[in-house]
Amino acid sequence: MPKTQLNVRVDVATAETARERASQRGISVNRYIEELVQRDEGESGRAFVQAAADFMRDYEEIFAEEFGGKDAGAR
């Protein structure tokens, strides 16, 4: 995948923490930040799926009443 440059300003403590964590993992700061963003993106996706599942569970009875039950799609 092509790479692009992203310049970010953070406070000194945050920069040092990023350097330390990357070093502990044996990776570059760039890779460390990239992994954090990818992990965050995955968590957002999981949160969306969970919210959709919660919605369906919460409104299952209403959908069943409106559309004729769980087997309505099999008609």
Q: How confident is the model at residue 75 (pLDDT cuts 50, 70, 90)?
A: very low
- Say whether 23 sits in a helix, a strand or coil: helix
Q: Does the structure show a pLDDT above 90 at 32?
A: yes
- Say whether 27 sits in a helix, a strand or coil: coil
Q: How confident is the model at residue 54 (pLDDT cuts 50, 70, 90)?
A: confident
What are the structure tokens assigned to 69, written together?
Answer: 């039950």
For 39-51, what is each residue's pLDDT tens digit?
888 877 887 888 8
What are the domain boundaries of the chain? 12-74
